[in-house]
């Protein structure tokens, strides 16, 4: 079999024998899957930047969100004792692990007749469903946890958009809990309307409008979501809002995909002249600090 990764010409010239051998290798499948699946496709990875390990299929998270002490810092004379403050009595919420998975099959006849086409379609099918399911789960947890709101104006021009963005940042910062909003999430329709206004605020050397990269303006990264969970602009401190908890399942058939996707893939040769490909994502999104996020209402989303 040819050395992986295939060049475009090698892929075009791969024989049915080459492709069947490719399907039998979980390592090669994981590398190929990593080419079409990136961590950036998972919105939960961007908004929930903490990473936790599920122990015993669950994780306990403090629910009172108290990070400041009962007693403030005071001036201390030379040689004097520091004032002692008690720790808060924390209450915990339990998040149980879930395993999202999907499988598909590629028959030998399909490979013999269409070569790489059924293989590519199988990988794209798994990639699409895993991304949509994970994003829906993450946004569902976030929107049900973040209850803080702020009324804004109609987003018809860049000045109003930036004004409301600064107000959202200030509102979260004034909680004095150490949060600093760095990311804005819009539904994809509003993003399409807002982005042209924001482009006017960027320097002429910025390539966001050409490359499609998420623009960063005044320290805020603006990203779009194709899911229905986001109806109003959501401002978050992505470093403090929460994280993704993952479980290490000891299944020797699976190989990890990409750097931080959390996805694993495996293949199984079936008796009925076909190969079964299945992928899984054993994870659960966790919101540890709901006050690190705020919804802006009244913008016309």
Predicted confidence (pLDDT) per residue in 178-193, tens digit: 899 999 999 989 998 9
Give dist(CA 94, CA 178) in Å, integer.
24
| Contact between 148 and 295 (Cβ < 8 Å) | yes
Tell me the pLDDT band of 148, cut-offs 50, 70 and 90: very high
Predicted confidence (pLDDT) per residue in 259-296, tens digit: 889 999 999 999 899 999 999 999 999 999 999 999 99
Closest CA to 214 of 40, 26, 11: 40
Predicted confidence (pLDDT) per residue in 22-35, tens digit: 888 888 889 888 88
Give dist(CA 149, CA 301) in Å, integer.
14
Q: Is residue 168 predicted with pLDDT exceeding 90? A: yes
Max Cα–Cα distance, the chain, nearest Å: 85
- pLDDT attached to residue 4: 46
Q: Is residue 3 predicted with pLDDT exceeding 50? A: no
Instruction: Flag the least confident range among 78-92, 163-177, 233-247.
Output: 78-92
Q: Is residue 123 predicted with pLDDT exceeding 50? A: yes
């Amino acid at each position: 079999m040819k050395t992986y990764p295939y060049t475009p010409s090698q892929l075009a010239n791969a024989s049915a024998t080459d492709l069947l051998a490719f399907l039998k290798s979980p390592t090669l499948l994981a590398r190929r899957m990593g080419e079409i699946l990136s961590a950036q496709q998972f919105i939960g990875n961007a908004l929930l930047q903490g990473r936790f390990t599920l122990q015993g299929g669950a994780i306990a998270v403090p629910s009172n969100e108290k990070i400041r002490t009962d007693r403030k810092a005071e001036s201390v004379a030379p040689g004097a004792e520091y004032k002692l403050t008690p720790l808060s009595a924390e209450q915990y919420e339990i998040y149980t692990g879930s395993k999202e998975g999907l499988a598909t099959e590629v028959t030998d006849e399909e490979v013999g007749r269409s070569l790489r086409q059924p293989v590519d379609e199988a990988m794209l099918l798994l990639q699409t469903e895993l991304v949509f399911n994970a994003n829906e789960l993450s946004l569902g947890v976030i929107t049900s946890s973040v209850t803080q709101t702020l009324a804004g104006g109609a987003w018809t021009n860049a000045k109003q958009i930036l004004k409301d963005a600064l107000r959202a940042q200030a509102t979260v910062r004034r909680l004095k809990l150490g949060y600093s909003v760095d990311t804005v999430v819009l539904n994809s329709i509003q993003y399409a309307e807002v982005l042209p206004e924001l482009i006017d605020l960027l320097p002429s050397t910025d390539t966001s409008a050409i490359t499609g990269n998420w623009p960063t303006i005044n320290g805020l990264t603006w990203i779009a979501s194709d899911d229905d969970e986001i109806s109003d602009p959501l401002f978050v401190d992505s470093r403090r809002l929460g994280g993704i908890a993952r479980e290490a399942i000891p299944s020797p058939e699976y190989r990890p995909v990409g750097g931080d996707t959390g996805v694993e893939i495996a293949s199984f040769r079936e008796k009925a002249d076909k190969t079964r490909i299945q992928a899984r994502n054993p994870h659960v999104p966790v919101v540890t600090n709901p006050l690190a996020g705020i919804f802006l209402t009244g913008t016309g989303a």
